[in-house]
């Protein structure tokens, strides 16, 4: 058989190594993306409704954050009219960020824009909203203002809103909160490198088997040619 027509196993091996390097590169790229920390909960919670604005807003992340300067962690709370009601700098305590809130004068939907630095050194940001039903700290109306609403009579008792309590489960314990969607995305991101490694191993194993089979066929072919030449 002419040498130019013989199949060379090292070409198949080169193709298999090339595929291995490509898959390993994908794993290296995907691993840092899966390591970014994510927001797992907040108080007030996203898309929730509260009676009055709390004194501070807290954000809980999946890992302790990095903070080298106040600019690394920023939480802006915007009122329905677009006014920033945040007061002072955000405070980082491990994986929890607290942001003090000043006096608000309007109810409605409030938007929280946050920016942090993940534990892997990469900045990440996001936004969510919640609704405040009653404005607090709107100030005392001037005495000479004829349009001011007079205070209620002393013998009239204003009912105090009562926050709903958690409904216990049949076993006597409170029902667990639903798992945030960010946890599902993070779990998939952590599994992605392992899936790619398994595919890489399968590809390399297939390439090695093909090389061994090709070499075995080549040996049998050469033995048949030698036998034919001797005849």
* Same domain for 205 and 225: yes
Stronger pLDDT, 27 or 228, i.e. the higher one:
228
Taking every pair of C-alpha atoms in the chain, what is the biggest distance, in angstroms? 126
Q: Are 75 and 62 in contact (CB under 8 A)?
A: no
8: containing domain: 3-34+190-230
- The residue with greater pLDDT, 126 or 160, is 126
| Measured distance CA(74)–CA(115) in Å, rounded | 5
User: Which is it for strands 74-78 and 49-50: parallel, antiparallel or unpaired?
Assistant: unpaired
Residue 229 confidence (pLDDT): 66
Q: Is residue 118 part of a domain?
A: yes
HSE (CB half, 13 Å, CA atoms) of 163? 6
Same domain, 53 and 107: yes
Q: Does a structural domain hold residue 165?
A: no
pLDDT in tens, 18-54: 666 555 555 444 444 445 689 999 999 999 999 999 9
- Of 20-24, 60-64, 164-168, which gets the smallest average pLDDT? 164-168
| 199 belongs to a structural domain | yes
Residue 184: pLDDT above 60?
no
Whether residue 163 is contained in a domain is answered as no
Does residue 154 lie in a domain region? no
* Calpha distance 43→60 (Å, rounded): 9
Q: What total number of domains does the chain contain?
A: 2
Residues 12 and 50 in one domain: no
Pairing of strands 74-78, 96-100: unpaired
**Residue 160 falls inside a structural domain:** no
Decide: residue 198, CB within 10 A, 0-12 exposed, 13-18 middle, 19+ buried.
Answer: exposed
24 and 74 together in one domain: no
Q: Hey, which residues does 61 pair with through a beta bridge? A: 39
Q: Are residue 10 and residue 72 in the same domain, yes or no?
A: no
Write the secondary structure of the chain as one string of H (helix), E (strand) and C (coil): CCHHHCCCHHHHHHHHHHHHHHHHHHHHHHHHHHHCCCEEEEECCCCCEECCCCCEEEEEECCCCECCCHHHCEEEEECCCCCECECCCCEEECCEEEEEECCCCCCEEEEEEEEEECCCCCEEEEEEEEEECCCCCCCCCCCCCCCCCCCCCCCCCCCCCCCCCCCECCCCCECCCCCCHHHHHHHHHHHHHHHHHHHHHHHHHHHHHHHHHHHHHHHHHHHHHHHHHHC
| pTM summary value | 0.48
For residues 49 and 170, which has the higher predicted lDDT (pLDDT)?
A: 49
- 194-227 tens-digit pLDDT: 777 788 777 778 777 877 877 777 777 677 777 7
């Amino acid at each position: 058989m002419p040498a130019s027509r013989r199949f060379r196993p090292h070409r198949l091996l080169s193709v298999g190594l090339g595929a291995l390097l490509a898959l390993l590169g994908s794993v290296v790229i995907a691993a840092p993306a899966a390591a970014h920390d994510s927001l797992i909960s907040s108080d007030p919670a996203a898309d929730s409704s509260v009676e009055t604005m709390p004194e501070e807003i807290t954000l809980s992340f999946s890992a302790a954050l990095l903070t080298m300067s106040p600019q690394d962690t920023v939480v802006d709370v915007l009122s329905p009219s677009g006014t920033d009601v945040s007061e002072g700098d955000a405070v980082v305590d491990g994986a929890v960020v607290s942001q003090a809130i000043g006096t608000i004068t309007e109810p409605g939907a409030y938007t929280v824009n946050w920016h942090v630095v993940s534990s892997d050194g990469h900045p990440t940001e996001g936004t969510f909203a919640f609704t405040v039903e009653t404005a607090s700290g709107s100030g005392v109306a001037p005495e000479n203002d004829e349009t001011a609403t007079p205070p209620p009579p002393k013998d009239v008792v204003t009912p105090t809103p009562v926050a709903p309590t958690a409904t216990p489960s049949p076993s006597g314990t409170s029902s667990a909160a639903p798992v945030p969607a960010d946890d599902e995305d993070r779990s998939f991101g952590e599994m992605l490198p392992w899936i790619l490694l398994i595919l890489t191993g399968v590809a390399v194993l297939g390439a090695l088997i093909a090389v061994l089979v090709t070499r075995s066929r080549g040996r049998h072919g050469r033995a048949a040619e030698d036998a034919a030449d001797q005849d």
